[in-house]
Amino acid sequence: MAEVYPSIRELIPHDGPMVLLDELVHWEPGRARCRITITPGMHFVSDGAVDTIVSLEYMGQAVAASCGYAAFRGGNDIRVGMIIGCRRMDIEVPTLRVGDQLLIEVREVRAQEEISVYECDVRRGDEPVASAQLTLYHADKPPGEGDSFP
């Protein structure tokens, strides 16, 4: 029986229209797969197309979903994360179109409390779209939120 996952909005700390992914479709420790269908009116869509560089954000949100579901399973709070590095990014197609269904897979390479590294792939069916190795910073709150300075 397939596992039923919480809504993507429950797993990532984004609000409103910046939640770009549709759903988490597979999770195991250190690995996740998410799905998105590009729709008209979605952030970054212009004239029916999205520049493939936006898949960097799709990958980051898939990492957030993976970490968010791990936290959910452990009864912990969802943490914020920020992409702080992209060691390499390969883009196979220049643009994506409204109606494209993408599968984003992320695999943890290494992780510590605040820093993690993930290998990420985006595919449209069997066709590779983009891949990258991302370094992310994780925290309980965004930088600057509630900070006081002397």
| Res 148: pLDDT | 42
Q: Does residue 128 fall inside a structural domain?
A: yes
Domain residues for 64? 8-139
What's the domain count of the chain? 1
Q: Does residue 148 fall inside a structural domain?
A: no
- Digit-coded pLDDT (tens) for 100-145: 999 999 999 998 888 999 999 999 999 999 999 999 988 776 665 5
The tally of CA atoms less than 13 A away on the side-chain side of residue 11 is: 26
Q: Which residue type occupies 72?
A: F
Q: Does residue 146 fall inside a structural domain?
A: no
Q: Does residue 3 fall inside a structural domain?
A: no
- Digit-coded pLDDT (tens) for 5-39: 999 999 988 777 789 999 999 999 999 999 999 99
CATH classification at residue 26: 3.10.129.10
Q: Does residue 36 fall inside a structural domain?
A: yes
Overall size of the chain counted in residues = 150
User: Residue 68: pLDDT above 80?
Assistant: yes
Quote the tokens at residue 107: 């695999």
Q: Does residue 144 fall inside a structural domain?
A: no
